[in-house]
Structure 1
């Protein structure tokens, strides 16, 4: 009897602690938050939400003037849009100078959300050139590092928060090739600065989303990226993996994965807002069912088990798609 009472009390206490952690917020109205990658997707949605619902002074960094104009047309005067290319150190320095001018002396920067990212090109590592690799790493990893370094004095003044957007594929880097490597780098960078910045009162939080519809969910664009890489391969390489049939099968897999992506982008932006406004923010967030129930669990398995599970799944899926491609070709031959 006593065991049941103690166990019940422990469960109730645990639930209360989780409720306190999840729902106790601080007022961030009037605080300054900088978000990169605000032209579309998560960054755009977060900028609008922080402006409308949280009353923040949002500094929205967009790659294009068109993105700046569109965002300013649907937000209040609290939001300031600036142009930023995180692939350029000079652009980052100019953005830093503008941000320093925007924020009143002594106020500091409450939040930096490193959201800007790209996913192209597509294909295994040995299909990619050095330029392919460095382009993704420069934007997704080095851009986030340089933005954080440049704005750290302002973050330190406010004892603010850094929110880095990683990915569920960083937990088990099997998909997206160089994209997953760049996001695994974000994980390591975030873990490092979380420790080093703690003494100055700056906290660091990682968002690890699963697959969501948005900038990366354009099926035709993904296929074109794969075609670009495929066309420059030697014929021997194409033949080695099964030729055009395998290419078409891979495209079908990508199409299926993108179509199954969640349309609920607010799942991710809600996690970002929690990291910025919760009194007790989590160190890591896993938005998306695939992040919670596939990538995280498989990342905890022993490597030999995880590798075999993934290889079995991928081999079966690609074989099924090859059969569909061949069946479709046979159908066209007979018509």
Structure 2
């Protein structure tokens, strides 16, 4: 049975991904930073909760030890935890703002992925899925027919471009692990004030595809619910 660990899974895309993968028969471990919200979400889905703050080394190390003691391995790591940038004019953005966004959205993936490699390598077919965004795509943010071109969010977009590049680099550097990125699309979640045009279920289609496809599907890809994403 596939064992999947999802970060930032107490709500939104992470929660819906946990629900769908559980319904498909996977053993899902629900990760979240807030213990109360995490436990509540896990109880609602009948899952085990593991606290993880992707910005904190001690928390990540403890999460690895917890899963090693209980599950023994993971087959799929879904790096879903992420934050939006401060909603302020570009000229008011500060270095501290940038550091906060990058610490969660990109440094967090490096921290978590590195820490979980030993547990992933106990799997016959390990996979890492990074939740990126079309907002980090040069092609989509310059296409006037796409909603991504209408939104200005320098720090969030830059962080997600970094997530996609990190994905392609990890795919080359870790040939024994399948590493891919998912673009949920313009989905109504807390991250955007529920203004997205897609439902949260539609927003998890790409993630679920990557989490359920065969190992032969390939590595180093960036997909949305309809297929490959231009980047």
Q: Same fold (TM over 0.5)?
A: yes
Match of 2:191 in 1: 216
Alpha-carbon distance between aligned partners in 2 of 1:72 and 1:48, rounded to the nearest angstrom: 10
Match of 2:105 in 1: 140
Structure showing the higher helix proportion among its residues: 1
Match of 2:213 in 1: 278
**Residue 128 of structure 2 is aligned to residue 152 of structure 1:** no
**TM-score normalized by the length of structure 1:** 0.60
CA contact (8 A) 2:64 2:115 kept: yes
5+ long unaligned stretches in structure 2: 142-148
CA contact (8 A) 1:209 1:288 kept: no
Structure showing the higher strand proportion among its residues: 2
- After superposition, residues 61-210 of structure 1 pair within 5 angstroms as 61-76=31-46, 79-104=47-72, 108-158=73-123, 159-172=125-138, 175-198=152-175, 200=176, 202-210=177-185
Alpha-carbon distance between aligned partners in 2 of 1:75 and 1:110, rounded to the nearest angstrom: 20
5+ long unaligned stretches in structure 1: 1-29, 219-257, 300-335
Deviations 1:80-138 (A, max 9, x none): 1111111111111111111111223xxx3110000000003123543112211111000
Match of 2:20 in 1: 49
* Count of aligned pairs between the two proteins: 216
- TM-fit CA distance, 1:210: 2.3
CA contact (8 A) 1:87 1:139 kept: yes
CA contact (8 A) 2:79 2:130 kept: yes
Alpha-carbon distance between aligned partners in 1 of 2:100 and 2:71, rounded to the nearest angstrom: 31
Alpha-carbon distance between aligned partners in 2 of 1:93 and 1:126, rounded to the nearest angstrom: 37
CA contact (8 A) 1:115 1:164 kept: yes
Change (3 A) 1:102 1:85: same
CA contact (8 A) 2:6 2:28 kept: yes
Alpha-carbon distance between aligned partners in 1 of 2:212 and 2:128, rounded to the nearest angstrom: 12
Alpha-carbon distance between aligned partners in 2 of 1:288 and 1:127, rounded to the nearest angstrom: 36
Q: Structure 1 stretches (4+) deviating beyond 4 angstroms?
A: none
CA contact (8 A) 2:185 2:203 kept: no
